[in-house]
Amino acid sequence: MTIVSTADLLAILPELLVMAGGCLVLVLDPLTAKDRKDWLAYFSLAVLGAAFVVGYWFMGALTGSPRPAFSGLYVLDAYGAFWKLLLILVSGLVILLAKAHLKLEEIDLPEFYAFILLSLSGMMVMVSGTDLLVIYLGLELMSLSLYVMAGFKRYAPRSLEAAAKYFILGSFSSGILLYGISLLFGRTGSTTLAGIRDGIAGLPPGDPILLMAMGLLVVGFGFKVAAVPFHMWTPDVYEGSPTSVTAYMAVASKAASFAAFLRVFLEALGGIKESWRMLLVAVCIATMVLGNVVAIVQTNIKRMLAYSSIAHAGYALIGLVVADAAGTASVMLYLAIYAFMNLGAFAVVTMLRRGGLEGDEIDDFTGLARRNKWAALVMLLFMFSLAGIPPTAGFIAKFYIFMAAVGANMTGLAVIAVVFAAISAYFYLRVVMVMYMKEPGETAGTPGYDVRVVASPAAIAVLLVAALGVLILGVFPDPLIQAAQSAILPLK
Amino acid sequence: MFDLIVTLIPVFPLLAVLANGLNVMLGHRYSHEIAHRLAWGSVLLSFLCSVWVLGQTLGHPEPRTVVAYRWFFGADLTVNLSFLIDPLTCIMLLVVTGVGFLIHVYSVGYMHGEEGFTRFFAYMNLFMVSMLLLVMGSNYVVLFIGWEGVGLCSYLLIGYYYDRVSAAKAATKAFVVNRIGDAGFLLAIFLVFANFGTLEYTEIFARAGQLDSAAAFSIAICLLIGAVGKSAQLPLHTWLPDAMEGPTPVSALIHAATMVTAGVYMVVRNHAIYDLAPDALLIVGVVGGVTALFAATIGLVQTDIKRVLAYSTVSQLGFMFLACGVGAYVAAIFHLVTHAFFKALLFLSAGSVIHALSGEQDIRRMGGLWSKIPKTHGVFLVGTAAIAGFPFLSGWWSKDEILGHAFVHGHYVLWALGATAAFCTAFYMSRLLYVTFYGESRVAHEVEHHIHESPNVMVYPLLVLAFLSVVGGLIGVIPGGLENGWFHQFLQPVVRSAGAGGEAAHEEGHLLVYILMAVTTLIGVAGWFTAHYFYKLKPEQPDLLMNRMKGAYTLILNKYWVDEAYDKAFVEPGKAVGRSFDKADTAGIDRVVVAVEQVTDLSAAGSTWVEKHVIYGGLNVTGYANHLAARVLRRLQSGLVHHYAAILVAGLVVLVNLIVLFLWLGGAS
Amino acid sequence: MIPLSYYMILSAIVFVTGVVGVLIRRNIIMLLLSIELMLNATNINFVAFSYYLGNIAGQVFVFFALTVAAAEVAVGLAIIIALYRGKATVNVAELNLMKW
């Protein structure tokens, strides 16, 4: 018996490509001349392109039954392929964004691309693992890279503080998650998702240790997706980290965590659906309320977007709470669309410079429409999309997820979501208001106050992709919805 | 062919948006001339297509669905971007594109020389696209897209003058208040989906009967919340007067003729659901009636020419809701159409006044303008007469019909509310007319030299609208007589499909209807006379309003007008009796008029107080509560890691407690 | 033979000690050690379950958990060193530049 077959290795080909690419960047870094470091970014993009092509080919070849690999520790299915494609795309955009942004921040180190690739490979493992061990390893690989990236601007106190906070709270929460996994193993005798499902079926209903384990898992995954009350790290870390890292955390790490959250809870814990549903309804409502309400008083745009991302985690949780085919598809759709609009919003933030610093206060956007109408226009688009206003994609995402709730007779949850989505318009609109309806310089007066927009071709490309994504997915969302629907988890 | 032309209706303005929008973004590659031609040209093309579609619909009143493309498709829900063409849609199309076209043409003159000329037209066309989607959509999602889209454009256009802080505030307020209504609308959509499993009108209305009354009531109320937000009804009306910060053509197009009537359109479109929920329908009527009166009384004391018109719009929309509430859907749409004519006319001529006075909007600094801008004066007069209910003008027909329905269907209180509002309408509109155009000029000297009539490009649309305001009501009487005109015959299939409601008032007996018409006419003329009395006959009256009206001397020149109004109002027997009445019993009339004035003044003050303290207060408290909550909640974010960890653990403890509770409940059951 | 519940209670005690340590300690290195305690509590669980269930998967998990813990410490210490260079403190109570 061979331990690892060629088929197994083929199954993780995209992951292997990305991992090898990450390691190669680290190796190539000292071998590259100082003025050629950009090539490492292009190299990373090429790696991602290759992984994307392979992943796409898998997705096409996978319509039908999922193929287990590594004796059931791993699976090659459309669900995983959907998330992988999304994550690869997002990583590519973040690399493009970072290429421009790191120069501005004077932290232009090629290790950054290596960390992105390694973190991405962790995420890819996370979304395809069918064993809690594999998922845990993927999650840690993702997180460890992110801890470092959060502190990437290592001479800036805020960045360091963000890294320290993220690291402490992140490892604390993964400790809790691991404890939950150990209890789950104890009660069901397995760490594979299928084994756990079978084990739960043999347990009496309402087994306290099982429920405890479930609660611990909710904490662990809730932390990663920034659900209230496990969200506390989010605003500080988002604010302190370099903005391109923040964008990556807010989009990719959240998407990957949701993917694993969904897979674990639906595949392994599907048997005690009613129990975790109740917990998650409470978490979901708290998340929507807190995220939207606290965002109102923020003055720093990254912090505002952090609370916004908390609120969006709340909306996406609705899909998990619904826990049926429509719910799963709606989460996938939501995070895919969310990726475009949030990445776009952060990309605009990276382009704004005040003096030698980043213009990350909402006041820095004052009169942006007069300084740079394109930047203002795309920011307006992203803000409207985040607020869920048609015809942007954000509306489709919200509409679809709320519809899933209504379809599952959870109208109450939909009502709360709709009301808080309405409140959210207020703080997104404030950004639009200062951009379009105030003159630049109204808040000037402090010396050295000169906000300017630094547009590099790479950042423009990111903005273009994000803006077109938001618009096209708003007007022609059908292909994406079809893709999400054909890639849902087989529900048991 | 039919499908193509229907689809083209919203596509034309969309192309103009893209062209003009790109032009703005790329740094004005072509001139303003081309920009405005594209803008109004596209709307004209849409109008022509709409006329063609109307022609096609005349013979085929049954609804036809045109699918542009499959928008999204889910496991149990398919949503198409598709259009529904039926008589109601046709009427709305004609109003939107027709009035829209005129306002676009007017804007060419009004916005001439503005810095953001092209941007303005891009927004306006974007608005046209959204509004067309709103009225053409064949399902709730397309309606909602349009619904949000018009809100968005309204927001952008209110904030058009970005150098005014008040404009930015007004824009944000309009948007946020609208979002409250939109949330209600979205909920209604979800409820409809939960009950029917589809969002297409034709399927839903065909199966509306299967709805139980509780579900129908909740859907109807949620829809009403949406409609109240969009149509600025109590208690969500506060944004509309503030929205007057936008350029005047915007006020005319969006905040008078089209967008704000979307709520009325939606209620009529959903009448099949409302018919199943009589309680909800009654609430619609009460909201409408109370708003009509409330806004009208506020209109009595406003001094900004556009704010008077804004409150007037709120009040007139109240009439339309009142009509819906008593089941007179056709009358509501009829009033919507005539209101679009005369209110657009009033706003545009107010814009012409403002234009002439170099931006002055305060009527206390106007006066005596009739000779200086005679064309504007003429059309404003027509508009005022139409809205005040001068016999045989468009407003008279439609308002009478609404009040007639209210009375005949036994809603006497609603009728009384409406009738009082009609009195106030006549009063404040006449007051506006007198103070603006007659009496002595109170215009500032430096402005006075520049007073000029507007250019033809602005005057011609006014003339067309004035013509429509005069004869527009006739579509409601020709050829079948009262409430059986072409308009009613055309729309009847739409409202009849539900089965219940919609029977014409005249079936109850012609005599009553004629009496009611006479009564409302009298009420209108009484309003006019009251204004005339205060602003012309007795300007020395030591009254609150009198102080403001120092310049309003009686003019012999206007005597003729006064006599005629007076004659028609109080003197049925004849001129001679009327004259003697005037001379002999001035004191008696004085007392009556003063009493009326005091009551209206009191109620105006009361309404203003309610608005200021209760409604703004309420909205502020909600906002403040939110802020407070936000402030308290953010304190949790102490910045300290161990606090964060503690909260995380506390969350875990809460979860465990929930689990225990769940186990305990599970064990108990 | 020692019952399984003893191991579970031991691991719970160690885990809670770790959690409390994270909550009350201010020195970032102590926090790191407390988190290590939490991870070790899990390892006790895994090994005990593995033994009693006769399932080797638990012990495999322990190997990986140890590896991850080591990686975590490596990253954590790197961050602590950078932090100490930047702010000359390892007290988490002084990490409060960003709040509210």
Residue C2 pLDDT > 60: yes
* Distance (Å, whole) CA A238 – CA A246: 5
Interval B634-642 mean pLDDT: 71
C68, A136 contact by CB (below 8 A): yes
Interval A359-369 mean pLDDT: 82
> Could you tell me what percent of chain A has a pLDDT over 90?
45
Interval A347-351 mean pLDDT: 90
B160, B58 contact by CB (below 8 A): no
Q: What is the pLDDT of residues B497-526, one digit of tens each?
A: 444 444 444 455 567 777 877 888 888 888
B308, B383 contact by CB (below 8 A): no
C27 inside domain: yes
The pLDDT, as a whole number, for residue B172 is 79
The pLDDT, as a whole number, for residue B619 is 55
The pLDDT, as a whole number, for residue A127 is 93
What chains are in contact with A, requiring at least 3 Cβ pairs below 8 Å?
B, C
The pLDDT, as a whole number, for residue A103 is 85
Q: In chain B, which residues have their Cβ closer than 8 Å to the Cβ of C25? A: 642
In order, the DSSP letters of B70-137 are EEEE-SS-EEEEEEEESHHHHHHHHHHHHHHHHHHHHHHHHTTT-TTHHHHHHHHHHHHHHHHHHHHB
Interval A23-49 mean pLDDT: 88
The pLDDT, as a whole number, for residue A258 is 94
Mean pLDDT score across all residues of chain A = 88
The pLDDT, as a whole number, for residue B610 is 59
**C-alpha pair distances (Å), A110 with each of A356, A462, B376, B631:** 22, 19, 70, 41
* Distance (Å, whole) CA B636 – CA B644: 8
Q: Regarding predicted confidence, which is higher, B80 or C52?
A: C52
The interface predicted TM-score of the complex, written ipTM, equals 0.95
Cα–Cα nearest to A378, from A392, A363, A358, A357 = A392
Q: Regarding predicted confidence, which is higher, A389 or A437?
A: A389
The pLDDT, as a whole number, for residue B569 is 39
Q: In chain C, which residues have their Cβ closer than 8 Å to the Cβ of A194? A: none
**Which tokens go with B304?**
């900004």
Helix (H) or strand (E) holding B64: strand B64-73
Which pLDDT band holds residue B579 (cuts at 50, 70, 90)?
very low
Write the burial class of residue B15 (CB in 10 Å: 0-12 exposed, 13-18 middle, 19+ buried). middle
Which pLDDT band holds residue B556 (cuts at 50, 70, 90)?
very low
Burial string for A333-353 (b: 16+ CB within 10 Å, else e) reads bbbbbbbbbbbbbbbbbbbbb
Q: Regarding predicted confidence, which is higher, A437 or A73?
A: A73
Q: In chain C, which residues have their Cβ closer than 8 Å to the Cβ of B637? A: 99-100
Neighbours of A444 (CB within 10 A): 14
Query: By residue range, what is the domain housing residue C86?
Result: 4-94
Q: Which of B70-79, B194-203, B553-562 has the lowest mean pLDDT?
A: B553-562
The pLDDT, as a whole number, for residue B601 is 60
**Of the candidates C19, C23, C99, which has its C-beta nearest B637's C-beta?**
C99
Neighbours of B279 (CB within 10 A): 12
Coil, strand or helix at B42 = helix
The pLDDT, as a whole number, for residue C34 is 92
The pLDDT, as a whole number, for residue A39 is 87
CB pairs under 8 A between A and B: 184
The pLDDT, as a whole number, for residue A125 is 94
Q: Regarding predicted confidence, which is higher, B31 or A1?
A: B31
> Could you tell me what percent of chain B has a pLDDT over 70?
81
Cα–Cα nearest to B252, from B165, B312, B168 = B312
* Distance (Å, whole) CA B423 – CA A367: 47
Q: Which of A142-146, A286-290, B428-432 has the lowest mean pLDDT?
A: B428-432
Q: In chain C, which residues have their Cβ closer than 8 Å to the Cβ of B630? A: none
Residue B596 pLDDT > 70: no
Burial string for A147-178 (b: 16+ CB within 10 Å, else e) reads bbbbbbbbebebbbbbbbbbbbbbbbbbbbbb
Check CB contact of B646 with chain A, cutoff 8 Å. Answer: no
C34 inside domain: yes
The pLDDT, as a whole number, for residue B564 is 33
Check CB contact of B641 with chain A, cutoff 8 Å. Answer: yes
Q: What is the pLDDT of residues A201-256, one digit of tens each?
A: 888 877 888 888 999 999 999 999 999 888 888 998 999 899 999 999 999 999 99
The pLDDT, as a whole number, for residue B439 is 75
Q: Which of A198-212, B252-266, B526-540 has the lowest mean pLDDT?
A: B526-540
Check CB contact of A355 with chain C, cutoff 8 Å. Answer: no
Which pLDDT band holds residue B558 (cuts at 50, 70, 90)?
very low
In this structure, what DSSP letter does residue B254 have? I
Which pLDDT band holds residue B576 (cuts at 50, 70, 90)?
very low
Residue B554 pLDDT > 50: no
Q: What is the pLDDT of residues A108-153, one digit of tens each?
A: 888 899 999 999 999 999 999 999 999 999 999 999 999 999 998 8
Residue B577 pLDDT > 50: no
The minimum CA-CA distance between C3 and chain A, rounded to whole Å, is: 14
Interval B308-328 mean pLDDT: 87
**Of the candidates A205, A214, A439, which has its C-beta nearest B162's C-beta?**
A439
Work out how many domains chain C is built from and give that number: 1
pTM: predicted TM-score of the whole model, two decimal places: 0.86
Q: What is the pLDDT of residues A374-423, one digit of tens each?
A: 888 999 999 999 998 888 899 989 988 988 888 888 888 988 998 888 88
Q: What is the pLDDT of residues B86-134, one digit of tens each?
A: 888 888 898 899 999 989 998 888 888 777 888 888 888 999 999 999 9
Q: Regarding predicted confidence, which is higher, B368 or B546?
A: B368
Q: Regarding predicted confidence, which is higher, B584 or B77?
A: B77
Q: Which of A29-33, A480-484, B237-241, B582-586 has the lowest mean pLDDT?
A: B582-586
Residue B573 pLDDT > 60: no
C79 inside domain: yes
Which CATH number covers residue C33?
1.10.287.3510
The pLDDT, as a whole number, for residue A88 is 94
Residue B277 pLDDT > 50: yes
Check CB contact of A183 with chain C, cutoff 8 Å. Answer: yes
- Dmax (CA) for chain C in angstroms is 54
Check CB contact of B148 with chain A, cutoff 8 Å. Answer: yes
Q: Name the residue of chain A whose CA is nearest to B632's CA.
A: A294
The pLDDT, as a whole number, for residue B604 is 58
C52 inside domain: yes
C99 inside domain: no
Residue B550 pLDDT > 50: no
Q: Regarding predicted confidence, which is higher, A16 or B26?
A: A16
Mean pLDDT score across all residues of chain C = 89
**Of the candidates C23, C96, C98, which has its C-beta nearest B645's C-beta?**
C23
Mean pLDDT is highest, among A158-172, B156-170, B297-311, for: A158-172
Check CB contact of A28 with chain B, cutoff 8 Å. Answer: no
* Distance (Å, whole) CA B572 – CA B87: 41
Q: In chain B, which residues have their Cβ closer than 8 Å to the Cβ of A409? A: 194
Interval B618-631 mean pLDDT: 61
Which pLDDT band holds residue A478 (cuts at 50, 70, 90)?
confident
CB–CB contact C23 B649 (8 Å): yes
The pLDDT, as a whole number, for residue B396 is 82
CB–CB contact C31 B649 (8 Å): no
Q: What is the pLDDT of residues B334-357, one digit of tens each?
A: 888 898 888 888 888 888 888 888
* Distance (Å, whole) CA B39 – CA C68: 64
Instruction: Estimate to the nearest angstrom the gap between the alpha carbon of A90 and the chain centroid.
Output: 9
Check CB contact of B665 with chain A, cutoff 8 Å. Answer: no
C21 inside domain: yes
C39 inside domain: yes
* Distance (Å, whole) CA A443 – CA B288: 44
